[in-house]
Amino acid sequence: MTRAKSSDMDTSTTTTNSVSGGTVGGGGVGVSSMGRAQMNCSGSSKDKMVASTTNNSSSATGASSNYSTSSSVGGQGAKNSTSATGSQPAYPSAELLPKLKSILPVATQCVYTPCYCEENVWKLCDSIRKDFPSELDYCHVAFISNPKRMVPMWRQKSGKNEEKLALWDYHVILLYNPDERCVVYDMESDLPFPTHFHRYVSETFRTENILQPEYHRFFRVVPASRFLSSFSSDRKHMLRSDGTWIKPPPNYPPIFNGVSNLESFLDMTTPKNEYGEIFSLMELVRRFYKPRQLS
């Protein structure tokens, strides 16, 4: 993974700002556990990143980010939140919808290498292809980045402040969308594995309204089957100029077919290429969030 330059952010001071109803404390700059540079944003860094601050601001799905900790895949309701349609977000109880298939084991049993999120997700997709091939068509991979290669994400395990805010150059997640429901698998999040799409977006991305435009998040969405057949990386982006590893590589051979194409997945300037289509945050919500209207 490429590394963002810490010099792009001013970290000379530390303050506290209210962002989307929560407090984001100072933290300085550190190399992320994923090998890409991750800024645990100090106050002056957030002053550049944040366009405006407000308590109880709505998330991209139209809900505040004040969630009950029980609102994970089990179908529990959210607290103090409003959906994109202005109603309470729909988390149907288990008796109203069939239980989602457990297409992946618990996170601790999945193949995982720090710093190699694209390969971690490739391994998740490969596991689904082997164990639940009929479900692969309902899976998509989302590469998250922007032209600046600085994307703020909350609830990240490597975040050092109260809100777990991290600034990545890019990240990769898996979406499973078998019906009107969608869940997200993110091995770097401190949310449940998986988490309902609504909760994940609300707590991880919140809203673009509080961010300067250059920090807005974009998503290249790729069908999982296409990702499995086309992704190729020689891992050279994880090598320093002297040939040493920024972070140790996985203990299996590279997922490499002779030509590395990672940059094509990370390109957030070409709306659609052979691998997938770019979505804004709101377009992603409209694509994967379909609240069920219960009578």
The catalytic residues are 117, 171, 186
Listing DSSP states for 195-232 in one string gives EEHHHHHHHHT--GGGB-GGG--EEEEEEHHHHHHH--
Q: How far apart are CA 197 and CA 178, in angstroms?
A: 12
**Contact (Cβ atoms closer than 8 angstroms) between residue 159 and residue 166:** yes
CA proximity to 158, closest of 219, 117, 196, 216? 117
CA proximity to 100, closest of 226, 172, 185? 185
Q: How far apart are CA 4 and CA 148, in angstroms?
A: 9
Taking phi first (over 0 means left), then psi (-120 to 50 degrees means alpha), and beta for anything else, what does residue 237 get?
alpha
For 257, other C-beta atoms within 10 Å of its C-beta total 13
For residue 15, which amino acid is it?
T
Q: Which two tokens stand for residue 261?
A: 């194409």
Q: How far apart are CA 77 and CA 174, in angstroms?
A: 23
